[in-house]
Amino acid sequence: MPETVQITFLGGLGDIGRNCAAIECRGEVLVLDCGVLFPGEDMPGADFVLPDLEYLSDRADRIVGCICTHGHEDHIGALAHALERLSFPIYASRFTLGLISARLEERGVGHRTTLIPIGDHDRIRIGSFDCEFIPVTHSVPSGLMSAIRTPQGVILHSSDFKLDLNPVDGRRTDLARIGAIARHEGVRLLLCDSTNSELPGSSRSESDVGEVLRGVFAAHAARRLVVAAFSSHIHRVQQVADAAVESGRKVATLGLSMKRNVALARGLGLLRLPDHAVIDVAEADSLPPSRVCVVSTGSQGETRSALALAATGDSRWLDIGAEDTVVLSSSPIPGNEARVARMINNLVCRGAKVVHGGQLEVHTTGHGKQDELRTLHTVADPEFFVPVHGEARHLAAHAELAVRMGMPSDRVVLARDGDQVELGDRGLLSRGRVASGDYYYVNGRLVESGRELFGERSILGQQGVVTVVVALSRDGRRLLARPRFESKGWIGPEKARELEQAGVDEVAAAVEEHLASGAQEGLVKLVRRTAGQFVNHSTGRRPMIVPIVIES
């Protein structure tokens, strides 16, 4: 009887981010992606969220390797953290490895792994997993779909993909190869990207964006053009560069990751940009505006990004003014809308013209919509299906799409982070939750889990804090001095001077009454309650109250 295969989802099923899965068979663990999730407003202060690395740590000596399907942060961003605790080889395309190695060197964990390049159509063994890599089109170069042959048949992992018949680099998602595998061996299980499963139709070709960009360049011919895009989106950068070179402009890069990724892509022959067309951003001011195109990071309005700094006049390199047209060649990721809107307002206030996706189609998605998903389902014709890479709503919509196409509903398994499915002779069974699925968030140098901290931070962030210090005599029977209020973020300084004395009086009276009654227990609670009531009655606000009772 062939061995069973377990697949445990350690992230990415419930959020768009922190994609990571463990595929286990014959005592070996193959990891599929290891990315981060960018925290929402409900996790104030967190830098990012990791997948469940605990599950992998418990199986540390059985990990045979990690496949990274492409170079987006939600697929590679947690590798450095994983490698601080674990050691395993990483398999990815050369471009993806270039992005990975920069991150690993930054964190000094490069020596804990071996980076193994894989090419389109390569078929290699990772442990005893027989893996084939199929090219897919996505919003970053060199994305790879994985066909993993196991004793229970082929597991096909789509990676993030779209079906673009006219991709900028001519590298299409290889449906023919997927069809051949389906025909000759059959696809036992499909794990497929669900990001755009709610959206009807097909995504527009990346090449269409190039046409729109050319139009923008023509319409703003006399002005300097600053185009912001994701720094890993080399196909977009290519189209900006082409439009710039065609219109006689020099291209300057702005932002560390843009510089680094452009250099990486040029080195690998993935970006065509002649040397004579490249200038340093410091030289840009010496040329007339009509001769310059700046390609920048910061399309999401990230606070410290090159473009956001330029928008507030704080950039060392770029002085935005009335001669500039700024093109935001991306759409805001949910959660970033307000920041992007603020940046647009700042740019407009500095006299710039702004072109964004809300007005012109200067962006297209990297994820296939419903028609593209249907095509993949048709070509792969899987026996079982688990939607991956999406929020709950995307996973559910993708499952519904498969069932509507005629897949029996008992062959579609909806799983969430922490769940395991098992592929065996009897089919695909849900084993329920075997890993925690918890959020492990990174903040500074520590990794923690649990929500308590964010509850406290939201109160502090929205209402501030009032500290009440009560000093008692050594025997704890009388007040040594008048209590003190210290507050941050509760009320402005003028009002604080007015109100704090009244608060001090109320707390002092309550403490004295309490001590006179002979009671000694419960003083901390009394101070918290008295101060809390005072603060709430006098201001209608609910800051955090921190009582400190000292006996000296």
Nearer to Zn ion, 72 or 236 (CB): 72
Question: 10 vs 347, which CB is nearer to Zn ion?
Answer: 10
Smallest distance, Å, CB 302 to Zn ion? Answer: 18
What is the smallest separation between the CB atom of 75 and Zn ion, expressed in angstroms?
6
CB of 282 to Zn ion, least distance (A): 33
Minimum Å gap between C-beta 196 and Zn ion is: 11
Radius of gyration of the chain (CA): 28
Q: Is 33 in the site for Zn ion (CB under 5 A)?
A: no
Q: Which CB sits closer to Zn ion, 74 or 132?
A: 74
Whole-number Å distance between alpha carbons of 479 and 420: 60
CB of 33 to Zn ion, least distance (A): 8
Q: What stretch of H or E contains 364?
A: none
Token pair 């026996």: residue: 383
CA 101 to chain centre: 18
Which of the ranges 71-79, 92-100, 105-113, 320-328 carries the binding residues for Zn ion, by CB under 5 A? 71-79
- Please give the backbone phi and psi of residue 510, each rounded to the nearest 5 degrees, phi first: -65, -40
3-state secondary structure of 486: strand
Look at residue 431 and give its three-state secondary structure: strand
* Region binding Zn ion by CB under 5 A among candidate stretches 44-52, 68-76, 212-220, 308-316: 68-76
- Residue with Cβ nearer Zn ion (74 or 164): 74
CB of 17 to Zn ion, least distance (A): 8
Closer to Zn ion by Cβ: residue 73 or 422: 73
Scan residues 174-213 and list those touching Zn ion (CB under 5 A): none
Instruction: Cite the DSSP H helix spans in 464-521.
Output: 493-516
CA dihedral 115, 116, 119, 123 (to 10 degrees): -150
Binding to Zn ion in span 371-390, by CB under 5 A? none
**CA dist 152 → 193, 368, 424, 478 (Å):** 22, 28, 6, 77
- Taking the complex as a whole, the smallest distance from the CB of residue 69 to Zn ion amounts, in Å, to 8
If the CB atoms of residues 24 and 74 are measured against Zn ion, the closer one turns out to be: 74
- The CA distance from 65 to 72, in Å, is 19
**CB of 490 vs Zn ion, minimal distance in Å:** 42
Q: Which amino acid is at 242?
A: D
110-169 residues in contact with Zn ion (CB under 5 A) are: 160
Q: Could you tell me the smallest distance in angstroms from the CB atom of residue 408 to Zn ion?
A: 28
Helix (H/G/I), strand (E/B), else coil: 517: coil
| Burial (Cβ within 10 Å: 0-12, 13-18, ≥19) of residue 178 | buried
Token digits of residue 254? 């702005």
Instruction: Give the count of beta carbons closer than 10 Å to the beta carbon of residue 480.
Output: 12
Nearer Cβ to Zn ion, position 160 or 500?
Answer: 160
Identity at 345, one-letter amino acid code: N
| Residue whose CB is less far from Zn ion, 87 or 365 | 365
For residue 255, the one-letter residue type is G
Candidates 23-31, 74-82, 335-343, 497-505 — which segment interacts with Zn ion by CB under 5 A? 74-82
Q: List the interface residues with Zn ion, window 393-432 (CB under 5 A).
A: none
Site string for Zn ion, 303-342 (x = CB under 5 A): ----------------------------------------
Of 64-72, 83-91, 391-399, 474-482: span binding Zn ion (CB under 5 A): 64-72
Which residue number, 78 or 344, has a Cβ lying nearer to Zn ion?
A: 78
Task: Write out the two tokens for 494.
Answer: 């003028």
DSSP string, 141-152: TTEEEEEEEETT
How many residues touch Zn ion (CB under 5 A)? 3
Nearest distance from residue 139's CB to Zn ion, in Å? 6
Task: Give 274's contacts (C-beta < 8 A, 6+ positions apart).
Answer: 245
Q: Give the nearest distance from C-beta 305 to Zn ion in angstroms.
A: 20
- Residue 72 sits in the site that holds Zn ion (CB under 5 A): yes
What are the DSSP calls for 232-257, one per residue? T-HHHHHHHHHHHHHTT-EEEEESHH
**Exposure class string for 419-429: b at 16+ Cβ within 10 A, else e:** bbbbbeeeebe
Tell me how far apart the 2 most distant CA atoms of the chain are, in Å. Answer: 89
Q: In this chain, which of 15, 33, 52, 74 binds Zn ion, going by CB under 5 A?
A: 74
- Non-local (6+) Cβ contacts of 193 within 8 A are 158, 159, 160, 161, 367, 368, 373, 388, 389, 390
Nearer to Zn ion by Cβ, of 168 and 243: the residue is 168
Each residue 218-257 as x (binds Zn ion by CB under 5 A) or -, in order, gives ----------------------------------------
User: Looking at beta carbons only, is 160 or 206 nearer to Zn ion?
Assistant: 160
CB atoms within 10 A of CB 487: 20
- Nearest approach in angstroms of CB 233 to Zn ion is 10
Q: Which residues bind Zn ion (CB under 5 A)?
A: 72, 74, 160
